[in-house]
Amino acid sequence: MTQVLLVLHLLAGSFALIGAAVAIATEKGKSLHILAGRIYFWSMAAIFLTAIPLSIFKTNIFLLLIAMFSFYLAFSGWRLARNRKGAAELIDWLAIALIFLAGAGMWALAAFYFATSNSFFIVLLVFGLLALSQGYADYTTYKNKAATGKQRIARHLSNMLGGTIAVVTAVLVVNVDVEPRWVFWVLPTAVLTPVIIWWNGKVLK
């Protein structure tokens, strides 16, 4: 069962990466972009759904927390693409509660890793900060009903690309076995986050 779930997990990751690449490369709002976005989102959902039992079977809380964070980014980005009114629904607030829980869990696990001299506490500190920051940004956006027009597009872009960074990170750490391994967990975020900031500025300008 674990092997089957792992294969499905990896296949979903491959489709998510392809969907993200096509969505980024195609004209926004057109049919191909929308189709690629759907493939990306449902692939991210499959990654999340397979990560839950895998994390239980392997007793891997780290995997579960990263999966929660990654799926939230894709889910919130998908919701922002569909919700043009800027008013949050119950499912949006539940998702925000989930990302706050994931961020707090990452910092708690980071403290445990630090106490046990596990260098991966650095990864959890970084991703925990990103999770809490992203959750707060979405919370204030929905609270102020600001997810409309260019602001909505910018938030959609940020969250979808954030989820894409998670997929790129997963591919990198699976295929590159170089010490210290935590560097390759944070490298895509460090490299691609400035691109997201630049693209957001371009959308909002």
The predicted-structure confidence for 15-37, as pLDDT tens digits, reads as follows 988 988 898 888 777 888 889 88
pLDDT band at 123 (very low <50, low <70, confident <90, very high): confident
Check residue 20 and give its pLDDT: 87
Check residue 93 and give its pLDDT: 93
Q: How many CA atoms lie within 13 A of 198 on its CB side?
A: 5
Check residue 175 and give its pLDDT: 66
Mean pLDDT of 92-101: 93
Residue 83 — φ and ψ, nearest 5°?
Answer: -95, 100
The yes-or-no verdict on residue 198 having pLDDT over 90 is: no
Q: For the chain, where are the alpha helices, taking DSSP H only?
A: 2-25, 31-57, 61-82, 90-115, 121-143, 149-175, 182-204
The yes-or-no verdict on residue 176 having pLDDT over 70 is: no
Domain span including residue 34:
2-204
Residue 202 one-letter amino acid = K
Give CA–CA dist 34/111, Å, rounded.
41
CB atoms within 10 A of CB 78: 21
The yes-or-no verdict on residue 177 having pLDDT over 70 is: no
Mean pLDDT of 115-124: 87
Which residue bears the tokens 């699976």?
174
Q: How many structural domains comprise the chain?
A: 1
Burial of 18 (0-12, 13-18, 19+ CB in 10 A): middle
The yes-or-no verdict on residue 95 having pLDDT over 90 is: yes
pTM of the model: 0.84
Mean pLDDT of 130-159: 85
Residues 186, 196, 40, 153, Cα dihedral to 10°: 150
